[in-house]
Amino acid sequence: WRQASLRWPSFPSAGSACQTSTSRPPSGPPPHTALQLHMWGRRGVFADSFRCHSVSLLAAEQHRDGNELEYSDKIILPPSSLEKLAHLEVTYPMMFELANPRYVARRLHCGVLEFIAQEGMVYLPYWMMENMHLNEGDIVHLKSASIPKGRFVKLQPQTTDFIKISNPKAVLESSLRKFSALTKGETFRILYNKKKYDIGVVEVKPEGPAFAPNAPQAVCIIEADVEVDFEAPADYVEPPKQPSPVASPLSTSPLTKSPLAGPSMGAPILDGDSSDEEMSDAKPFEGSGFRLDGKPIKAPKSSPPPSTSMLGNGAVKVGVRIGGDGSVLGGGFPASGGQTLGGGQTLGGGQTLGGG
């Protein structure tokens, strides 16, 4: 291709029968008709218009793998474009600029894969058609372009799914081998593990001087050492910051409900000694208690007064004889007040129990 772009075809000599007085010298470029000049543009620049279609249509017609055509930036031109490019001094590698006449603000740069399209048609990856707002059969303007090699690019994944890949940089490096150029503002598409990822181009920097004013900000990445940086995904949302632990104010403390913490009690006096001698003349506590949880204190349950006698209030009979059937046979002297048991003490009518 380099030789074809630099060599002009040979022409008849000055003595030939077909030579006319108006012919150009053999060393000059070949004569071009007005139609050819209109289609080719100025010398060294290829420019033409085509009806665009997605590469998936060509893949379906030729039973090819559509992924190889879709996830790249290579276009497919008709054979006539190859003939025109062969007569022009187009820089290598061949780069082209695509523009939508109805949306001139967006321009993309790409390479060429094959020259097998039907005449008047060009096949584009569908993501390029989306970027330029093109539909099937729309007119697209195409011209050759010379862009510098890239030194730095900043990319932005459109979804957080891309950063969840174990090694996103290695995946991107492998995918970009199918690409020829990157244009600032475009969003290209790659395929990894049967899943599509859209990557936006945020910034590009060329080797050498910066871009000239009004020049397209696009770089060639073929055989270039490009530094790649990533920006946060477009749909990334930072998690809310956790508030730092702060001590609760005193107003929310349950101790504020305690009468001990009130201002009426004053500061505690701790100078005295709590010995038994000093506390002997202290007055008994006459206040009321309270619960820390604020609930009312339940009144203590009343218990019956204790009995003054171990034997109860019933009369005690002493010396009672009981028969075999359990009936009382006789005897028995009721104990009167002041009676005691044991130790030879007398009960009632002079009878003595135990010890004498």
- The whole-number average pLDDT for the span 245-274 is 60
- The whole-chain average pLDDT of the chain stands at 75
Does this model's pTM top 0.75? no
Q: Read off the amino acid at residue 139.
A: I
Q: Which domains does the chain have, with CATH numbers?
A: 1-6+33-146 (2.40.40.50), 147-237 (3.10.330.10)
Query: Is residue 190's pLDDT more than 70?
Result: yes
Bridge partner residues of 204 (DSSP): 153
Q: Which of 131, 143, 134 is nearest to 51 (CA)?
A: 134
pLDDT value for 42: 46
Confidence grade of residue 3 (pLDDT, cut at 50, 70, 90): very low
Separation CA 324–CA 322 (nearest Å)? 7
Question: Residue 239: which pLDDT band, with cuts at 50, 70 and 90?
Answer: confident
Q: For residues 291 and 259, give the distance between their C-alpha atoms in angstroms, rounded to a whole number.
A: 11
Grouping H, G, I as helix, E, B as strand and the rest as coil, residue 275 is coil
CA distance 116 to 55: 12
What does the pLDDT read at residue 88? 87
CA dihedral in degrees (319, 322, 327, 333; nearest 10)?
0
**Mean pLDDT lowest among 194-208, 226-240, 305-319:** 305-319
Assess contact for 217 and 106: CB atoms under 8 A: no
Tell me how far apart the alpha carbons of residues 172 and 199 are, in angstroms, rounded to a whole number.
Answer: 9
Kindly state the average pLDDT of the residues 15-34: 36
Q: Which two tokens stand for residue 108?
A: 């993309």
- The rounded radius of gyration (Å) of the Cα atoms in the chain is 54
Residues in the chain: 356
